[in-house]
Structure 1
Amino acid sequence: MLSTPVARLRPPPAARPAMADRRWWWALAGGWVAHVLLRLWLFRYHAGPVANPDETGYLAAARWLAGGPGADFTGSTFYQSGYALLLAPIHWVSADPATVYRLAVAVGSMVSATAFPLAYLVLRRLAVGRRGALLLAFVVGASPALLLFSGLALADAILPTLLLGWLLAIHDLVRAGAGRSGSRRRGTVRHGTVRRGIVGGADVWAGVVAGGLAGFAMTVHMRGMVVLAVTVIVVGALLVARRVPRRAGLAALATAAGVAVAGTVLNRALAAALYPGGTRDLAGLLVSRLTGLDGQAWALAGAAGQLWYLIVGTWGLAGIGLVAAATVTLRGAGRTSRRVGDGGLAVSFAHRVTAAALLAVTLGIAYASSAALPDEHRVGNYAYGRYLSCVAVAWTLAGVAALVRARRRSIPALAAAAAALGAGTGGVAAWYAGDRLDRYAFIAFDFPEVIFLSGVPDRLDMAAASLTALALLAGLTVLAVLPVLPGRLGLPASGWARVVPPAAGLAAVTIAFVAHLAPRSAPAPGRDWLPAPGPGRVAVDTRVKWNVWLPLTHRVWWTRLEMYDGARQAPPAGACTAIVPPTAGPPPAGWAATGDGDPSKGWTSWTGRGCGAGPGH
């Protein structure tokens, strides 16, 4: 009874010296540079798209947005404009395809590395101390979900960072609303804390950032539709319940709507230019799946497979995060914070709302992406990690925060629940897929973390991957619960000394994965198997396979590829090069065979007589 008034009379802690704060900013900046350099070193040999048609689709969209020639991807999956906008300025710097791609890798590396300072802020929101948050964020910043795609021209390179920023904004928006309502109930507004920021409009800025990032996520990828929907639902519900300032909530909704509308307009313009005959109808497939029992079984089993991959691909830490978030969410939405765990981790209303929002986004993406995924007769249809990679870092942070902040006696229970969740979701996916996991095509690109865990590079070994992930999770759990010797370190057991063992264990696994991912040597030089058209207009026979003409779209930077039906007509008049199938026969009048190509590569080429136009003409 006496502690409350005494605490209120206690003077505020002395402000940290500006020099000390500056050191933290320098540490974050230095860590960011280190992460960028790590990515640039890992992907130093990347000089062109390897994940087609996705990479070429984004690169061609960026080129068109920069004012360059377009392409014709009719019937293909639509690659949206949000990520391409970040790459568009590259085409103003250079037109060389290899240089453009290397700069795209640099952009992805810088955005991906920004997850490190954001991860630090997330851990600080979860009551991890400064030094511990800095160490853990640096290690998590090199997790697979952040490394794998930063070296490719894919939207997945920026989505994890975008989602971290969105989560921080949602948390701060809700916290600002809780702070303001609390101040109103007490009839006071305190200064020197978050209350001062609320008076200054910090709640509105949090709403603008949350809404803007949600709208931009929708412009980047279809997964962003789930983020936008969750944002609208969460902010709308908070407005109705009067748990967020009206001005801030409306700012969030208005910004989300504005950015989403602008993105929709840009996406439609991009679709009209690069997909003149229409895009692949994934929305129609989604609706058909959701309205039938077989489709629902496909969607739910695929979602389970994605959750399994999320858990094993984060060494079990995402499982701990999922269990902890579900527990926090189900505790109720009381207005007061509760103290749990060693050192007193505050579980506030803002924590609950943020945890619920992240759960909704995760489950929504897993379910919707699985429902909209065509049956391509590949193993990745049943267990896939790419779609949930955008939330993998957030769940890893939630998992490590639980390891270092929860009560020691509750950590084994969290780990056991995470292991059960991984086993359950993996069991559902394996049961539904059956022998298709052995019969269907195994694409190594779909399973980098699983290959690392199982050591099997040419097939999906769910059991081996699961057991290895369980062993890693057990090791991290032991490191988190073992008593430390704070006296030898001069620190309390609940502080910095408690963070070091699990951080060291996670760092060891991360280093092993980086070593597994790192190229052993430069690729052996060899003759390029793709066409190398000369200057001027380039035509492609529609009978040529997509894996030939589509990457050629990026390589031929000076003109739009002109598609024509070679079975019915000659190459377009005025074209200088025609790429045709080996079975096309002799060239028509006005054309001559170049002798390039190989029947095993699926193409040969003709050249038009009298062509003198150069690139860009």
Structure 2
Amino acid sequence: MSAESALTVTRRPSGAAGPPDAERARRARRRWALAFVLGWVAQVGVRLWLASGQTLPVATPDESGYLFAARVLTGGPDADMSYGTVYRAGYPLLLLPAFLADDPVSVYRGALVINALISASMLPLAFLLLRRLSVAARPAYLFAHVTALLPGVLFYSLFVLTDAILPVVVAGWLLLAHAWLSAPRDPEGRRAAVRLALCGTGGSLLVGFAYAAHSRGAILLVVHAVVLLAGALLRRRSWRATTLAGAVAAAAALAGAMLNRLVVLPHLYPAGDNDLGGNLAERLTTVDGWGWTVSLATGQVWYQAVATGGVAAIGLAAAGYAVLRRDVAVPVRVLALAVLATVAGIALATSAALPVEYRVGNYVYGRYLACVTPVLFIAGAAVLLRAPRRTLARAVAAAAALTAAAACVVQWYAGDLLGEYTFTIYDFPETSFLTWDWDSFHLWRATLAGLAVLAAAAAAVLAPRRRPRRDAPVLAAVLAALLLAGVALAMTVTAVDRIARPLVAEQTAETDLRGSGVDLRARDTIAVDWNVPWTMRLSHYYWAWWSDGTLFDSRWTPPPQDADMIVLAWPGGVPAAGSWPGGAPSGWRIVDTRRTPEGNWVAWARG
């Protein structure tokens, strides 16, 4: 049964004549339309409520990079982020409406509203994916809400990050790719032909946008090209349709690449960016490099399994099973392989490119694969809801074995470093909740807690089946959805309380220039000393929103006299006036000072 036909089926009360079929279908469509409108509004509301305390970028340098890229796209001032990671222009294009505001906090809040509107679209997309996996309409609606509440979808939407919209992009691409592959080879009628062309070009535009938004999009672009080629070689699509979709993907990717090269790089990275490509080449050409890459990629898979209570691990196993089964429809097998290739490609490429940062997040990390996690969760949920008892038991066992094996790899490679390296709390919103520790990482406690959630979800699904009741499937879905949604929402709420809000308060206290007593709007240029910690440098650029941000190194270069405000590193035991090397020239005065655990600085202004 298709998703559309499922939405038109209603149950006639016993003994009632009932309205004609057409009228019943219209009423059913209206009820479902209302359910999705109200559900989407609720999802938006949850995001805005959780983001209400966010007033400045705290996930630095990522948030700052995207905000400054969007500012440059509006014709606004530059911000020197040289030698850092390039933050591409695709996502900042979506943020441009936020720049109708004219102060940094309002722009930032506007960006979070845009995030909420897009991220909440995971609800209908997850529903459609679940229906494609033959999950009944009402359980699919419940689990679509659960998917939209996953921390990988919800928590990252509270920050100006591509992770706020990439899960929606990936889910939308998968739906369009399935529609393109599964349609009849020779569509009948002009409408069917147009629909087919729209599916192909729509999926291509999405992957082109993903490529323009983040380096992970390069993996998606390659996978999409292989899916298009498979459609032609397996005679699912004509070469003409394949060429059209491929040309659109290439044009979108080229447009994004040109935008990044011509606009973003010159204005934000005038001295060049960091060499992640060099890391990638070195890691993939040495034995030690492959050990690092495969181990860290395994840690990423482990994180997704634990963070979703093992359900994503079931989905990963189910995708592998679908690829190997000859009785599975060809489009489903192709796309299952595409999902596995996307997971492997992102995990391996990001691990290979990652520099050694001496933090626990080097070895176990959740953000890179968060764009694919909802798809894996949906596949796992379909198994939970539809699989017979024995099949479900095998799926749970396979997920537990996969999770435990991944944990063993992490333990073997990282070992004591998991306790010795820096624990960055922002990297672990899910596992910190599972272990109830926001100060350190616990590999095996998190593993056991995640598997306990999986066991509880499986029990919630199986319990109603013991009694042959007509509403048993819906009851099972309700119980499992309540459990998984409760865990997911609790993860995000505690992460906001223990991670996001404290970071906002801390960075505001350490960097806010608004109390300096000078008119920041009248400052055309702010120059920041390289020796000021980089998180603070970016925050100073943020507060001086209307000013060009430039860098200099006070150890070798005198503070630039053509700047309107200068922020200098402030050595310990030195008076604020002594922060200017050799003494400040006439016409400059101290307007703000701050000593903080992260570093000390003095702000000077002209006049």
TM-score when normalising by structure 1 = 0.87
1:100-135, Cα deviation, whole Å (9 max, x unpaired): 111111111111111011001111111112212111
Residue 74 of structure 2 contacts residue 96 of structure 2 at CA under 8 Å; is this kept in 1? yes
Equivalent residue for 2:583, pick from 561, 584, 587: 587
> What secondary structure is seen at the aligned counterpart in 1 of 2:52?
coil
Q: Distance in 1 between matches of 2:49 and 2:111?
A: 14
Find the counterpart in structure 2 of residue 503 from structure 1: 481
Q: Does 1:129 align with 2:136?
A: yes
Determine the structure 2 residue equivalent to 1:512: 490
Query: 1:386-423 CA deviation, whole Å, 9 max, x = no partner?
Result: 10011111111111111111222210100000000001
CA distance in 1 between partners of 2:448 and 2:254 (Å): 46
CA contact (8 A) 1:59 1:84 kept: yes
Structure 2 residue 531 is the aligned partner of structure 1 residue 543: yes
Alpha carbons 2:227, 2:335 under 8 Å: kept? no
Q: CA deviation at 1:243?
A: 2.0
Partners of 1:503 and 1:599 lie apart in 2 by 48
Q: Is the 8 A contact 1:83 1:220 kept in 2?
A: yes
- Does residue 95 (structure 1) correspond to residue 102 (structure 2)? The answer is yes
Is the CA contact (8 Å cut-off) linking 2:464 and 2:475 kept in structure 1? Answer: no
Q: CA deviation at 1:439?
A: 1.1
Cα-to-partner distance string for 1:32-68 (whole Å, 9 max, x where unaligned): 1000100111121100011111110110000000111
Query: Could you tell me which residue of structure 2 aligns to residue 394 of structure 1?
Result: 375
Task: Please name the residue that 1:555 is paired with.
Answer: 543
Cα 1:374–1:325 change in 2 (3 A) is: same
Q: Report how far residue 69 of structure 1 moved.
A: 0.6
What corresponds to 1:202 in structure 2?
Answer: 195
Distance in 1, matches of 2:452 and 2:543, equals 45
**1:108 counterpart residue number:** 115
Residue 42 in 1 paired to residue 50 in 2?
yes
Query: Structure 1 residue aligned with 2:337, among 340, 356, 361?
Result: 356
Counterparts of 1:230 and 1:78, CA distance in 2: 23
Q: Could you report, residue by residue, the CA deviation over 1:438-484 in whole angstroms, capped at 9, with x for unpaired residues?
A: 11101111011001111122111011111011111111112222343
> 1:221-246: CA deviations, max 9, x gaps?
11110000001012112212322233
Distance 1:531 1:498, change over 3 A: closer
Equivalent of 2:275 in 271, 277, 281: 281
Query: Is the CA contact 1:173–1:248 (under 8 Å) kept in the aligned structure 2?
Result: no
Instruction: Give the aligned partner of residue 59 of structure 1.
Output: 67
Q: Write the letter of the residue equivalent to 1:223.
A: R
Q: Residue 512 of structure 2 contacts residue 543 of structure 2 at CA under 8 Å; is this kept in 1?
A: no
Q: Counterpart of 2:252?
A: 259
Answer whether contact 2:532 2:600 (CA < 8 A) is retained.
yes
Aligned counterparts of 2:492 and 2:82: Cα–Cα separation in 1? 38
**Is residue 2:212 matched to residue 1:222?**
no
Tell me the secondary structure at the aligned position of residue 497 of structure 2. Answer: coil
Letter in 1 for 2:292: W
- How many corresponding residue pairs? 566
1:445 and 1:305 mapped to 2: Cα distance?
Answer: 17
Go from structure 1 to structure 2 and tell me whether the alpha carbon gap of 1:498 and 1:564 turns closer, same or farther (over 3 Å shift).
closer
- Structure 1 residues 558, 246: CA separation in 2 closer, same or farther (over 3 Å shift)? same
Q: Secondary structure at the match of 1:460?
A: coil
Name the amino acid aligned to 2:601. W
Residue 204 of structure 1 contacts residue 247 of structure 1 at CA under 8 Å; is this kept in 2?
A: no
- In the other structure, the counterpart of 2:307 is 313
The secondary structure found in structure 2 opposite 1:478 is helix
Q: Which residue identity lines up with residue 144 of structure 2 in the other structure?
A: A
Indicate if the aligned counterparts of 1:58 and 1:83 stay in contact, CA closer than 8 A: yes
Query: 2:76 matched to which residue of 1?
Result: 68
Residues 564 and 140 (structure 1 numbering): CA distance in 2 closer, same or farther, change over 3 Å?
A: closer
SS at 1:149's partner residue? helix
2:233 equivalent to 1:240? yes
Q: CA deviation at 1:487?
A: 6.4
Amino acid at match of 1:443: T
Q: Distance in 1 between the 2:33 and 2:45 partners?
A: 19
Residue identity in the other structure for 1:590: S
Describe how 1:463-482 pairs up with structure 2 within 5 A: 463-482=444-463
Q: Which runs of 5+ in 2 are unaligned?
A: 1-19, 572-578
Please provide the CA RMSD for this pair.
Answer: 2.2
Q: Does 1:440 align with 2:428?
A: no
Corresponding residue of 1:573: 561
Secondary structure in 1 matching 2:603: strand
Tell me how far 1:485 sits from its aligned partner: 7.0
For residues 132 and 301 of structure 2, the distance between their equivalents in structure 1, rounded to whole angstroms, comes to 25
State whether residues 484 and 497 of structure 1, in contact with CA within 8 Å, keep that contact through their aligned partners in structure 2: no
Letter in 2 for 1:445: Y
Instruction: For residue 128 of structure 1, give the secondary structure of its aligned residue in structure 2.
Output: coil
The separation in 2 between residues aligned to 1:540 and 1:603, in whole angstroms, is 10
* CA distance in 1: counterparts of 2:203 and 2:116, whole angstroms: 23
Match of 2:298 in 1: 304
Worse overlay, 593-602 or 401-410: 593-602
Q: Is the 8 Å Cα contact of residues 173 and 203 (structure 1) preserved in structure 2?
A: yes
Match in the other structure for 2:7: none
From 201, 205, 211, the counterpart of 2:204: 211
CA contact (8 A) 1:115 1:141 kept: yes
* Residues in 2 aligned to 1:604 and 1:324: alpha-carbon distance in whole angstroms: 57
Answer yes or no: is the 8 Å Cα contact 1:306–1:366 preserved in 2. Answer: yes
1:321-340 matches, cutoff 5 A: 321-332=315-326, 338=327
Alpha carbons of structure 1 residues 608 and 518: separation in structure 2 relative to 1, 3 Å: closer
- Could you state the TM-score of these two structures normalised by the residue count of structure 2? 0.89
Rounded to whole Å, the distance in 2 between the matches of 1:310 and 1:594 is: 49
CA contact (8 A) 2:182 2:236 kept: no
3-state SS of paired residue (2:592): strand
Secondary structure, counterpart of 1:597 in structure 2: strand
Cα 1:569–1:383, aligned 2, differ >3 Å: closer, same or farther?
Answer: closer
Residue 180 (1) aligns with residue 185 (2): yes
Counterpart CA distance in 1 for 2:288 and 2:552 is: 39
Task: Decide whether aligned partners of structure 1 residues 198 and 226 sit closer, same or farther in structure 2, where only a CA change above 3 A counts.
Answer: farther
Alpha-carbon shift at residue 77 of structure 1 (Å): 0.5
Cα contact 2:323–2:333 (8 A) shared by 1: yes
